[in-house]
Homo-oligomer: A and B are copies of this chain.
Amino acid sequence: MMSRTIRAERVGVTREQILTAAERLFAEYGVCAASNRRISEAAGQGNTAAVGYHFGGKADLVRAIVRRHAVPIEELRARMVAAAEGSDDVRDWVSCMVRPVTEHLAALGSPTWYARFLAQVGTDPALCEILDEENRTSPSLRRAVDGFTHCLPELPAAVQAERGTMMRQLILHTCAERERALARGAATPRASWHDAATGLIDALVGLWLAPVTHPS
């Protein structure tokens, strides 16, 4: 009989293999289209029911992949938010939202699958709630929201909420678009994730500082 430690380690390795295979298949074929059976096979599991055994349903598997990336992104963002504390330069706060994501993607090496995966999760009616939940529980995101309010005290609360949502959408889908272009070998407007982040930060600073037309 295996000792309990060795067994736990093996389970840990299997789970990681499944998460990695699932993320890749989700990005390349679609979150809904990639079956548990196919993921089990791609993860090198003899038992094609391995995904169900280790993760339950699709939503649980998706949540586990989101969490695996949310941890390092939250760490990066917590550090940046702490450094930005008290700043009234909106660029600092936009950077706190963009750089942790792009630095994490850059650190994963090439290719990445996470951005394409996440863009699907964000638009899937059965799964998008998972992203909202993760965002709600991030302490650094909450502090960043306060940072924007502090920087832009004259921006009406509804417009602040509106632009905050636009910012999240734009970061998510711009990263996914870049990842998609890289995967196809297509041209990209920027040579690196770092430079892509700079372009995104420029655009988002403009978005936040734009004058507000009051509704008729």
Contact = CB atoms under 8 A, between A and B. Distances in A.
Interface of A: 27-33, 116, 119-120, 122-126, 128, 158-159, 161-163, 165-166, 169-170, 172-174, 176-177, 180, 189-191, 195, 198-213, 215-216
A174 B165 CA distance: 8
A162 B177 CA distance: 10
Contact of A128 (B162, B180, B208): B180
A116 B125 contact: yes
Given A33-B32, A158-B190, A123 B125 contact: no
B173 A195 contact: no
B203 A27 contact: no
A85 to B, nearest CB: 23
A163 B170 CA distance: 11
Given A158-B189, A162-B190, A166-B200, 14 more contacts: A30-B126, A116-B123, A116-B125, A120-B123, A122-B173, A162-B203, A165-B174, A165-B189, A166-B203, A169-B173, A169-B174, A190-B215, A202-B210, A206-B210
Contacts of A30: 32, 124-126
Contacts of A122: 123, 173
